Amino acid sequence: MPQSIKNGSSRPAGWGIVPGGATSLARELPIVLAGMGVFYSVIAFARYWSGPIGSQAEISLHPAALPKYALFSVLRLAIAYIFSFVFTLVYGYVAAYNRKAERFMIPLLDTLQSIPVLSFLPSVMISMAALFPSRQLGIELGSILLIFTGQVWNMTFSFYSSLKSIPAEMREAALAYRLSWWQRFWQLELPQAAIGLIWNSMMSVAGGWFFLMACEMFVLGSRDFRLPGLGSYLQTAANAGNMRAILWGLVTMIGVIILTDQVVWRPVIAWAEKFKVEQVGAAEIPRSPILTLLRSSKLLPFVTRSFVLPLREKLDLHFAKDHETRSVTKGSNRVPQWALRALGVVVLAAIAYAAAKMFSILATTSAAELRHIVWGAGATFLRVETVLLLAALWTIPVGVAIGLRPRLSAIVQPIAQIAASVPATALFPIILLVLIRAGGGLGIGSIALLLLGTQWYLLFNVIAGATAIPEDLKEVCSTYQLSVVERWRKLFLPAIFPYLITGLVTASGGAWNASIVAEYFHFRGQTISTIGLGAIISQATDSGNYRLLLAATLVMAMIVVTINRLVWRPLYALASDRFRLEA
Amino acid sequence: MSSPIVERLRDAVSQARWNEAVALLQTSAAPQAAEALGELPFEQQQSLFRHLPLDLAAGVVAQFPYYHQYVLLHSLPAGEMRALVDKINPDDRMRFFDELPEEAWQRLMDELSSAVPADTSGRHEPETARVPEPKLPQPGEPIIEAFQIEKSFEQPDGREIQIIAPMDLSVESDSIFALLGPSGSGKSTLLRILSGLTAPSSGSVRVHGQPLASCAPNIGIVFQSFALFPWLTVLENVEVPLVARGLEHPERHHQALEALAMVGLKGFENAYPKELSGGMKQRVGFARALAVNPEVLFMDEPFSALDVLTAENLRGELLELWIKDQIPTKSIFLVTHNIEEAVLLADRIVVLGTHPAKIRADFRVSLPQPRDRKSAEFLIYVDYIYKVMTQPELEPGPFTKLPSVRKPSFQVLPHATAGGMAGLLEFLNDRGGKEDLYHLAEELLMEVDDLFPIVDEAVMVGFADSTQGDVRITPAGKEFAEADIAARKKLFREALLCRVTLIQQIQNALQRKSDRAVPLEFFRDILDEHLSQDDVERQIETVLNWGRYAEIFTYDSETDRLLLIEASGTANSNETVPLH
């Protein structure tokens, strides 16, 4: 029985006061407590924010400080996420509906996505510090914006493509029945984008954890920025080589991630079931105890009924009337054409100025630096491709083996998901320690780190691909007694090919971006680095060499975009053209 | 040579012993009876014919050639004639209608539609207890009028492709308007222009005399794909347009529930669309459209996505709501490719032609509701529409308003496979080589949209003829149908190379190249000049299918190139073209 029916019929009929009772109180208690907790932490954070700059340099390695640090980090991620969400809605909306803007907004997004977080660091930090010179707020906002640049782009892409894929007839229904933009947004556009947005939000937040260490503690020229948080705790512990503290930090981080998963993502995914347009083979409906708790709660519907619904009703009707009157007095409210043109000219001028400035800076790049960048790019390229190859080598057989056995997959998948949710950067200090003891350097270490960060995309995609192989095709293989090699060549490899490509595209982009933390690391009071483009970017940030930073970033963005266009896109087209299993 | 029965018949008729004459005919089989009747002087034939019981008359009259049948029928008063036509067995009746010349057919049609079937039991007491003349819907006031609307799209390379040729249309009150045409004829685009969803490239649309752009017409739309919001419950879906109109809570709720009750969905308010079957989903679509009490209800292929029985049921219910005036809607505008559906529902039918869309016929259906699919008049309309649709070169018939239709200068391949055509030809051959298109569609359970392209393909390569709503196999087609696979390919190849321009172009281009290969892109560009993007893709798909079947060329998807097949067989067959 679909959950939606149960939900619909179990709604209390009246608008009355919440009925009491011990059981219901026990049920409501967690919700009330959670609400109070959020309220308190916001207050605490606000007080800390408005305080003066000063105490930030001290990061206590005592485990007792961890809850506070974890809270700060979570709040930072949450605020960055809210920024990302708002940005996503606005940017995606404009790109999807304004054909002229779309033409440059989407390639721009493509490019921004390929720029690693640290490259945003100097400009973000300097502008924020300039905006709020004497308050903690400036540096905090800078850190949040950094996290934002790490998680926003894929969400925006997802929202944009969801808007683009709304069926024409649904759009026409909205038009024919004269829905206001407000109603259209809530009843058509946001629901259509919901599932994609949720999955991309999860990926984005995971990315936020991955780059947290880099975002909470960094050197910019002569200034040393440290913000209280889990990332800076781990970084400080690594710097000090304090194994106990590293482990404490790691355990806390994993705990927080699992808790977020249970408290936020699972309920949201289970709730989002209703936004699935088609239920194809819905053998397993996502469930969440928290969602069940919320749904059986009496407090929440009460709040909904007495505040949310009336408010929504008011807003709906307000915008509907607004829309009615406006559609009769056509277009009187619109921004005049000349204003839009003027805005366009201003934006173009700004871009031209920035480009000119950029080239004047780049022109001073010395031949030695250029050589350095080219070598670094080559090294990182080889490293990334090695990582992809290694990841493919182990994930393809393992993934297919898991995917072909539903029972095994039911056991392995949840474990793998937890393993995948641990940010590789947090494990890095431990890996480095082991490697250094074993006599290896960062050359191998960076490959291990990149592998840790990117292999999961591949594994999950391969499992999904193997699960999707139709039973009859497997039966054909057994009927004609195909050998193992033949089976792989004729069935498994072609069948997982589209999935493999999807995984590789994500992994490749991710690996390039992750090279900035993998190739350059502060450990035990010293800086360990290896040759590579990521190391150049990190080092340029540290030393405040903006020219080098700019050049290296441009090279990286160009490489990533070019590889996407020349390698992944054709492969993707081939995959969806030739190797798709028609249902 | 006159048989004894004819002698006795003459005898009886000359002395006005009608009962004896009727008994004589009743003892003979229909062909003999007809032969005997035919021997009488014409005045006597008519007199005797008037005295025949209905069944006998129907059996006998069908034996005569169509002109004789026509005259005999006209010896009866209009009401009796209609009853008799209804009695003739459908096959014979169809053949009769097919053979009638256009004008005669038209007159008969008018007579039949204005007549009321006579009470057959009171056959000998004429002019008794007539049923009052049924009220036929009269065209009312125009609600939406379109003047010289035209639509064209710009290709990526800047060329304009005309989708709809300039035309006038008006949607009138108190009538159901059906727009009929093959797929890709632009009928959905026309609906969108009239409903204000799309602006025409030129021309204007007025609602009650006001420009469409400046007023918000009160319309409802039912979509082929239902277009329900899957994340909203049934009730919320129906409330969507009501919220947009600023209706407040209790009233809105009430109105939505009323609309749901009207379409028989009471009790499903809290279900989600994905829990419903296709038919129920479309009911929600209807409820949503009717909830706003629309003045004009637009329906874009509303029954196409449903199975036959569900569609029939829903159609009937809609018609009932309409006839009994249970909905405030003043006019219904239906887009469909189903001929029977159009004749069943519509008071007025416009048939569209393709490339670009233009009006091929525009006529009223003067049959009272509810309509009987098996009645003669119904079949005449169906047959007529088949004729119009299958013969682009057909001179405008009795119902068409527009002057002759220009033949497109560019040969567009029908979107059908070689295998489909082979199946059709085998079927036709088994049926003696000739079949009525209407029957063919019925027996093969195919929609017009699927059948017509196959017929067109057979006609294009000269394996069949299609006239007057019939399809007839040609000698070449018969040879093809009876050949084995290798011979079929050879026959098809020869036919293609001598009749199909695009295939000729491709072969010429391939032969001129030293490597016998040409990128497909080259031919795409040629087609781009004449057709829209989607049509080009369909043409390419078709030509690849035909060319590969005929083994003229093959296509390498890896390099996107066409390669000439130079089998020795091809060369030989080119030299020894059969001389028939």
Per DSSP, what are the bridge partners of residue B330?
none
Same domain, A136 and A158: yes
Which residues constitute the domain of residue B71? 4-121
pLDDT at A330 over 60: no
Mean pLDDT of B84-95: 80
Alpha-carbon span A116 to A510, nearest angstrom: 9
Direct distance between the N- and C-terminal alpha carbons of chain A, in angstroms, rounded to an integer: 25
* Torsion angles phi and psi, residue B142, rounded to 5: -70, 135
Average pLDDT for chain B: 80
pLDDT at B577 over 50: no
- B216–A contact, CB cutoff 8 A: yes
Residues of B in contact with A187 (CB under 8 A): 229, 232, 240
Q: Which of A486, A504, A470 is nearest to A580 (CA)?
A: A470
**Residue A101, domain member (yes or no):** yes
Q: Which residues contact A544 (CB under 8 A, 6 or more apart)?
A: A122, A220, A221, A222
Q: Which of B197, B266, B257 is nearest to B227 (CA)?
A: B197
**H-type alpha helices, A50-116:** 66-97, 99-113
**Residue B12, domain member (yes or no):** yes
Q: Which residues contact A70 (CB under 8 A, 6 or more apart)?
A: A230, A252, A253, A256
**Residue A5, domain member (yes or no):** no
Same domain, A349 and A430: no
**Residue A306, domain member (yes or no):** no
Number of domains within chain A:
3
**H-type alpha helices, A98-229:** 99-113, 117-131, 136-164, 168-176, 181-184, 190-210, 212-216
pLDDT at B13: 84
B377, B109 Cβ separation under 8 angstroms:
yes
Higher pLDDT, A331 or B298: B298
For B563, the token pair is: 């390669």
Mean pLDDT of A120-136: 76
Compute the nearest-CA separation of B49 from chain A (Å).
58
Same domain, A270 and A346: no
**Residue A223, domain member (yes or no):** yes
Which residues constitute the domain of residue A353? 335-364
* B333-382 confidence digits (pLDDT tens): 999 988 889 989 998 888 888 777 888 878 777 777 788 887 766 777 78
Alpha-carbon span A565 to B1, nearest angstrom: 91
| 3-state SS class at B269 | coil
pLDDT at A81 over 90: yes
Same domain, A375 and A254: no
- B210–A contact, CB cutoff 8 A: no
**Residue B279, domain member (yes or no):** yes
For B135, the token pair is: 């009220």
Provide the angle, in degrees to the nearest 10, between the axes of the packed helices B249-262 and B234-244.
120
Other CB atoms within a 10 A radius of the CB of residue B166 amount to 17
* A420-473 confidence digits (pLDDT tens): 778 888 888 888 778 777 776 777 888 888 888 888 888 888 888 888 888 888
Compute the nearest-CA separation of A320 from chain B (Å).
5
Alpha-carbon span B498 to A33, nearest angstrom: 84
DSSP secondary-structure letter at B468? T
From residue A315, how far is each of A193, A320, B113, B147, B436 by CA, in Å? 22, 8, 56, 40, 61
Q: Which of B121, B139, B155 is the last residue of a domain?
A: B121
**Residue B159, domain member (yes or no):** no
Q: Which of A583, A573, A479, A545 is nearest to A122 (CA)?
A: A545
Closest alpha carbon within chain B to A280: B274
For B22, the token pair is: 């009727």
B352: left (phi over 0), alpha (psi -120 to 50) or beta: beta
Compute the nearest-CA separation of A5 from chain B (Å).
7
Same domain, A242 and A274: yes
pTM over 0.80: no
Interface of A with B in 9-68 (CB under 8 A): 9
Same domain, A357 and A447: no
Mean pLDDT of B529-537: 80
Closest by Cβ to A183, choosing from B227, B243, B275: B243
Q: Which residues contact A505 (CB under 8 A, 6 or more apart)?
A: A564, A568, A572
* B409-468 confidence digits (pLDDT tens): 578 888 889 999 999 999 989 888 888 887 788 788 777 778 888 988 998 999 998 876
pLDDT at A162 over 90: no
Contact call for B243 and A169, based on CB within 8 A: no
**Reported confidence tier of residue A56, pLDDT bands at 50, 70, 90:** low
pLDDT at A5 over 70: no
For A247, the token pair is: 């482990």
Same domain, A454 and A527: yes
pLDDT at A127: 79
Min mean pLDDT across A416-430, A480-494, B49-63 is at A416-430
Mean pLDDT of B193-204: 88
pLDDT at B115: 65
A330, B214 Cβ separation under 8 angstroms:
yes
- Which of A175-189, A354-368, B23-37 ranks highest by mean pLDDT? A175-189
Mean pLDDT of B102-118: 68
Interface of B with A in 164-203 (CB under 8 A): 192, 195-197
Q: Which residues contact B260 (CB under 8 A, 6 or more apart)?
A: B234, B235, B238, B266, B268, B269, B284, B287
pLDDT at A11: 35
**Residue A330, domain member (yes or no):** no
**Residue B358, domain member (yes or no):** no
Interface of A with B in 151-180 (CB under 8 A): 167, 169-170, 172-173, 175-180
Provide the angle, in degrees to the nearest 10, between the axes of the packed helices B54-61 and B42-51.
140
Residue type, position A28, single letter: E
Direct distance between the N- and C-terminal alpha carbons of chain B, in angstroms, rounded to an integer: 42
Same domain, A340 and A248: no
**Residue B535, domain member (yes or no):** yes
- A-B interface: how many C-beta pairs under 8 angstroms? 90
- B246–A contact, CB cutoff 8 A: yes
**H-type alpha helices, A190-308:** 190-210, 212-216, 230-240, 243-260, 266-271, 289-296, 299-303
pLDDT at B104: 66
CATH number at residue A250: 1.10.3720.10
CATH number at residue B90: 1.25.60
Same domain, A205 and A161: yes
Question: How much helix, strand and coil, in percent to the nearest 5, is found in chain A?
Answer: 80, 5, 15
Closest alpha carbon within chain B to A190: B231
B542, B496 Cβ separation under 8 angstroms:
no
pLDDT at B2: 53
| 3-state SS class at B297 | strand
Q: Which of A297, A320, A344 is the last residue of a domain?
A: A297
* A395-412 confidence digits (pLDDT tens): 999 999 988 887 887 788
Compute the nearest-CA separation of B298 from chain A (Å).
10
* A340-379 confidence digits (pLDDT tens): 788 888 888 888 888 888 788 777 777 888 888 889 899 9
Contact call for B216 and A328, based on CB within 8 A: yes
pLDDT at A583: 45
* A203-230 confidence digits (pLDDT tens): 888 888 888 888 888 777 677 778 888 8
* Torsion angles phi and psi, residue A429, rounded to 5: -55, -40
| 3-state SS class at A492 | helix
Residues of B in contact with A3 (CB under 8 A): none
pLDDT at B223 over 80: yes
User: What's the angle, vertex CA B168, arms to CA B166 and CA B170, rounded to 5?
Assistant: 150
Residues of B in contact with A313 (CB under 8 A): 248-249
A205, A260 Cβ separation under 8 angstroms:
yes
Alpha-carbon span A410 to A417, nearest angstrom: 11
Q: Which of B132, B313, B282, B301 is nearest to B224 (CA)?
A: B301
From residue B208, how far is each of B132, B194, B216, B295, B328 by CA, in Å? 35, 13, 11, 11, 17
Same domain, A72 and A105: yes
Instruction: Say what percent of chain A tops pLDDT 90.
Output: 8
pLDDT at A91: 92
User: What's the angle, vertex CA A49, arms to CA A38 and CA A62, rounded to 5?
Assistant: 75
Same domain, A143 and A267: yes
Residue type, position B410, single letter: F
**Residue B25, domain member (yes or no):** yes
**Residue B515, domain member (yes or no):** yes
Q: What is the 3-state secondary structure (H, E, C) of A116-132?
A: CHHHHHHHHHHHHHHHC
For B84, the token pair is: 């008799």
Compute the nearest-CA separation of B288 from chain A (Å).
10
Compute the nearest-CA separation of A317 from chain B (Å).
5
* B464-503 confidence digits (pLDDT tens): 988 767 888 999 999 999 988 889 999 999 999 888 888 8
**Reported confidence tier of residue A16, pLDDT bands at 50, 70, 90:** very low
For A223, the token pair is: 């200034």
- Which of B25-29, B135-139, B545-549 ranks highest by mean pLDDT? B545-549
Q: State the sign of the Cα–Cα–Cα–Cα dihedral A91, A96, A101, A102.
A: positive
Helix or strand (DSSP H, E) at B131:
none
Closest by Cβ to A317, choosing from B192, B214, B248: B248
**Reported confidence tier of residue B1, pLDDT bands at 50, 70, 90:** very low
Min mean pLDDT across A239-243, A314-318, A426-430, B378-382 is at B378-382
Same domain, A293 and A342: no
Q: Which of B121, B154, B186 is the last residue of a domain?
A: B121
Q: Which of A462, A428, A2 is nearest to A249 (CA)?
A: A428
pLDDT at A89: 93
Alpha-carbon span A149 to A228, nearest angstrom: 20
**Residue B36, domain member (yes or no):** yes
Closest by Cβ to A324, choosing from B223, B246, B270: B246
Number of domains within chain B:
3
